[in-house]
Amino acid sequence: MIDKRVKNAEEAIKDIQNGMTIMLGGFGLCGIPENCIAELVKKNVKDLTCISNNAGVDDFGLGLLLQKRQIKKMISSYVGENAEFERQMLSGELEVELTPQGTLAEKCRAAQAGIPAFYTPAGYGTEVAEGKEVKDFDGKPHILEHAYKAEFSIVKAWKGDYAGNLIFKGTARNFNLPMAGAAKITIAEVEELLEPGQLDPNEIHIPGIMVQRIFQGEKYEKRIEQRTVRKKVD
């Protein structure tokens, strides 16, 4: 059994360098790799291309990297919760590639499965389709989308073992699931790291063969992106 444990986030991201492309799992602030993001901020790696469903909020998640101008290009689906992202995009400081959410997920999953490209109707007739090959299937136009290429994929799981097997909790499966194994190196940070054999094999979402590095994270804030409560009734 290959032991894929590394000591901490610092060791896990040690060879992420300026100008690299990285995938980061999570949806909103749910299931994001908080420890690795914090370490990337600390390391001050620059000119990153980040593939993520969204860009965090101003003072949390990928918003921390945006604050320090560490991201050169953002490939995302939803970016409406980050004022600094908006400012950088409108000023031309940040290159942005907006992608339909299903297409973004499938481009990750295709990379995970070793599929170089696929056709989808999503985005046809919009700016998303500009410059892309179009073919008709059953009388309906589809555009050609290519799988993502990234040096690193960073995901966050609920439980894992040191062989790299992962279990995600609830909706934290979101983009963590298709991003695991979708890059040359996958880093997994987990809330609970166990010995091989302690995970129920019927509950494993990602097999260890897709993960190269794993560590137990700490101090997860698990912030709520938007909280709505009822007004107090006297």
What average pLDDT does the structure give for the chain? Answer: 94
- What was the pLDDT predicted at 228? 80
For the chain, domains (ranges, CATH) are 9-116+149-216 (3.40.1080.10)
The residue with greater pLDDT, 30 or 188, is 188
Q: What is the percent of the chain with per-residue pLDDT over 90, rounded to a whole number? A: 82
Q: How far, rounded to the nearest angstrom, does the alpha carbon of residue 92 sit from its chain's CA centroid?
A: 23
23 neighbors 186 (Cβ within 8 angstroms): no
The two tokens of residue 15 are 């060879």
DSSP notation for 43-62: HT--SEEEE-S---BTTBTT
pLDDT of residue 16 exceeding 90: yes
Closest of 176, 147, 167, 172 to residue 24, by C-alpha: 176
Per-residue pLDDT band for 232 (boundaries 50, 70, 90) equals confident
pLDDT of residue 223 exceeding 90: no
- What was the pLDDT predicted at 227? 76
Rounded CA gap, 95 and 12, in Å? 27
Q: Is 98 helix (H, G, I), strand (E, B) or coil?
A: strand
pLDDT of residue 87 exceeding 80: yes
Of 70-79, 111-120, 149-158, 223-232, the range with the lowest mean pLDDT is: 223-232
Mean pLDDT score, 208-228: 87
Per-residue pLDDT band for 71 (boundaries 50, 70, 90) equals very high
Distances (CA, A) of 33 to 26, 37, 118, 207, 222: 7, 6, 28, 19, 10
Handedness of CA 27, 113, 10, 68 (dihedral sign): negative
